[in-house]
Amino acid sequence: MKTRLILFIAISLLGSMACWAQEAKLDDILSAYYKAIGIEKMKEWQTVTVTGKTISQGMEYPVKVYMKRPGKLRIEVEVQGNRMIRSFDGNQGWSIVPWSGSSDPQDMTTDDKKEMKSQADLEGDLYNWKEKGHKAELIGKEDFEGSAVYKIKLTKADGDIETWFIDAENYVPLKMAATVKIQGNETESECYFSNYSEFNGVLMAKTNTNKFKGQTVSQMETDKMEINLPVSDSLFIKPVKK
């Protein structure tokens, strides 16, 4: 009995040490990632104004994005003279989709608000993941399109899963694969990050390519990013119907 107890304690200690080592390795990788992109500098950002374009099915559409702390996001896309708007004020979201048959603002679904809330997080889901109620795991190291990457699985507080591929040399994200629930059904998508450039001391991907089942759905190209310009709260508030 005594021998079994000693063996049990030894196995438990080994398991605890393995978990600690894995977490320490994960913390080291994430710390290197935060440093590489300049997360401390990003904390000084209060607003971000992005001008660019989205490319879908061979067509280009002008895009304007406004972000403001805490958790505010507005996306405008010009399509054939019409402006589509998606806006989130940190709690509530609304949208205007002219080609839907109405130019009135419509309340967002719960799923859309969840997506906008995640996108409105300036530092991203991986930063302060514990404080946000997420769970992060280092899956391992593997090859990704000729580059060695660390693979990190992030199980978010809402149950959605993000798998991040962090370049093992430069510590910038190259890809994020997401499994999210939409109307109770799981949907998978991928986002590829490339063409990194520095904006006000922060390294950001100028090209975000979204794929579904291996096929490119859209691509966002950033032309200009302006930091700490005045951005009115009224941009994020749902307009009153006239």
For residue range 113-169, list pLDDT tens digits in order: 999 999 999 999 999 999 999 999 999 999 999 889 999 999 999 999 999 999 999
Residue 213 is predicted with a pLDDT of 83
User: At residue 58, does pLDDT exceed 60?
Assistant: yes
Give the pLDDT mean for 9-25: 48
Per the model's pLDDT, the better-predicted residue between 5 and 20 turns out to be 5
Calpha distance 191→206 (Å, rounded): 13
pLDDT digits (tens, 9 = 90+) for 65-124: 999 999 999 999 999 888 999 999 999 999 999 887 778 899 999 999 999 999 999 999
Per-residue confidence band for 40, with pLDDT thresholds at 50, 70 and 90 = very high
User: At residue 24, does pLDDT exceed 60?
Assistant: no
Q: Which residues contact 224 (CB under 8 A, 6 or more apart)?
A: 50, 51, 52
Token code pair at residue 108: 């967002």
pLDDT digits (tens, 9 = 90+) for 202-232: 999 999 999 988 889 999 999 999 999 999 9
Q: Which domains does the chain have, with CATH numbers?
A: 25-236 (2.50.20.10)
| CB hemisphere CA count around 206 (13 angstroms) | 11
Q: Which residues contact 124 (CB under 8 A, 6 or more apart)?
A: none
Residue 34 is predicted with a pLDDT of 97
Q: Which residues contact 117 (CB under 8 A, 6 or more apart)?
A: 71, 88, 90
φ/ψ of 115, rounded to 5, equals -65, -45
Give the pLDDT mean for 5-31: 59
User: Which ranges of 38-81 would DSSP assign to H, the alpha helix?
Assistant: 39-42
Number of H helices, E strands in the chain: 3, 13
φ/ψ of 99, rounded to 5, equals -80, 5
Residue 11 is predicted with a pLDDT of 46
Residue 20 is predicted with a pLDDT of 40
User: At residue 21, does pLDDT exceed 60?
Assistant: no
User: At residue 7, does pLDDT exceed 50?
Assistant: no
Residue 242 is predicted with a pLDDT of 61
Residue that has been written with the tokens 């000084």 in this structure: 44
User: At residue 5, does pLDDT exceed 70?
Assistant: no
Indicate the residue type of 85.
Answer: I
- Nearest Cα residue to 205 out of 221, 216, 189, 183: 221
> What is the pTM for the complete model shown?
0.86
Q: Which residues of 13-41 are buried (b: 16+ CB within 10 A; e: fewer)?
A: eeeeeeeeeeeeebeebbebbbebbbbee
Asked whether 209 and 194 are in contact (CB, 8 A), the reply is yes
CA-based R_g, the chain, Å: 21
Residue 22 is predicted with a pLDDT of 47
φ/ψ of 88, rounded to 5, equals -140, 130
User: Which ranges of the chain would DSSP assign to H, the alpha helix?
Assistant: 2-37, 39-42, 110-119
Give the pLDDT mean for 172-187: 88
